[in-house]
Amino acid sequence: MKAIILAAGEGKRLRPLTNDRPKCMVEYNKKPIIDYILEVMKECSIDNIAIVNGYKKDILSAYLDTKGITTYTNINYDKTNMVSTLFCAEEFMNDDLIISYADIIYTKEILKKLIVSDDDFSVVVDKEWKELWQIRMDNPLDDAETLKIENGKIIEIGKVPHSYNEIDGQYIGLIKISKKVINEVIAFYKNLNRDDMYDGKDFNNMYMTSFIQLIIDFLIDAKPVIVEGGWIEVDTLSDLSAYEDKKWENY
C-alpha cells in the first residue's frame, strides 16, 4: 500500500504563519501538521509515501530530507487545485493508494479503518462533523457541504446544502483507491473534457469533491468509511485559536 499527501497549497488563510513555510508545516500543539500525518502512517505500517509539494517546496523538502519520502512538485500550485496536485504524482499511483490532505490531523484508528476497507473506492465520512464545525464557526451550515448516503453508497458530495437534512456526514480529506481500479481512475481523469466547467471551476481548479462526484456518476461506486470524530482540520488562524480556546482534547 502507498500513500500520497497533497501539500502544494499556499495556506493563505493561515497567514502570517505561512509566510515562510508551507501550510503543512504550521504547528499545532508545537508540532508541524505533517508530522502528525507521517507518524500515524508509520503506526499503520505505511512506509511508501509520496508528498506533492508546491508552495515553499524547498522548505518542505529540506525538512523531509531524512525521512525517505518521495516528492513530486505541482509547479502550478498557485493556479490549480487539489485534483491537479494529485495527478502530479501519477507515476506513483500503481498500488492500493491512500490519498490524504495535508491540513488534517487524524487518529490511527481512522486510518486503520480506511486501510481495512475492501471497497474499490472508499471515502472517510465523519458522522459527528457538527461538533467540530461548532467549535470552528458560529453557523456550521455556512461552511458544510452536502453528502448523501443511500444503500451504503455516497450518491452526492460537495454541493451547497440548504438544510442539515442534506448532510449525512462530512468528507474529511481521506480516500482509498484499490489497485484493482486505480488505472481506471487515472484514465477517467485523463479523458475528462479540459474545456468543461466542474461545479463552477475549470478543469485545472476542479475540487476533489467534484472529481469524486464524477467518479460516482460515471465510473464506480464510492463507499463511505464512517467515523465519529477523531480528527481536526487546520485551515485558518481561527481554527487554531478555537481549538485552543475550547481545549480540544482529541490531539
128: exposed, middle or buried (C-beta count within 10 Å: 0-12, 13-18, 19+)?
middle
The domain in which residue 192 lies consists of: 2-245
Distances (CA, A) of 211 to 100, 158, 167, 201, 240: 15, 10, 19, 11, 29
Please check whether residue 208 lies inside any domain of the structure.
yes
Domain count across the chain:
1
3-state secondary structure of 143: helix
Q: Judge whether 108 lies within some domain.
A: yes
Q: Is residue 233 part of a domain?
A: yes
- Rounded Cα distance, 206 and 92, in Å: 21
Cβ within 8 Å of residue 193, ≥6 positions away: 203
In Å, what is the CA distance from 168 to each residue of 4, 78, 154, 172, 233? 27, 32, 9, 13, 19
Cα(50)–Cα(6) distance, integer angstroms: 9
The CATH number of the domain holding residue 74 is 3.90.550.10
In a domain, 78, yes or no: yes
Any domain includes 178: yes
In a domain, 135, yes or no: yes
Q: Do residues 82 and 6 touch, judged by C-beta distance below 8 A?
A: yes
**Residue-level pLDDT at 144:** 94
Helix (H), strand (E) at residue 175? strand 170-177
Check residue 245 and give its pLDDT: 67
Q: Would you state the pLDDT for residue 107?
A: 96
Of 212, 222, 210, 242, the C-alpha closest to 140 is 242
Give me the pLDDT at residue 65, please. Answer: 87
Q: Which parts of the chain have pLDDT scores under 50?
A: 251
The pLDDT value recorded for residue 177 is 98
Element (H, E) at 77: none
Relative orientation angle of helices 208-218 and 179-190, to the nearest 10 degrees: 100
User: Would you state the pLDDT for residue 56?
Assistant: 97
251 domain-assigned: no
pLDDT, tens digit, 9 for 90 and up, residues 89-103: 999 999 999 999 999
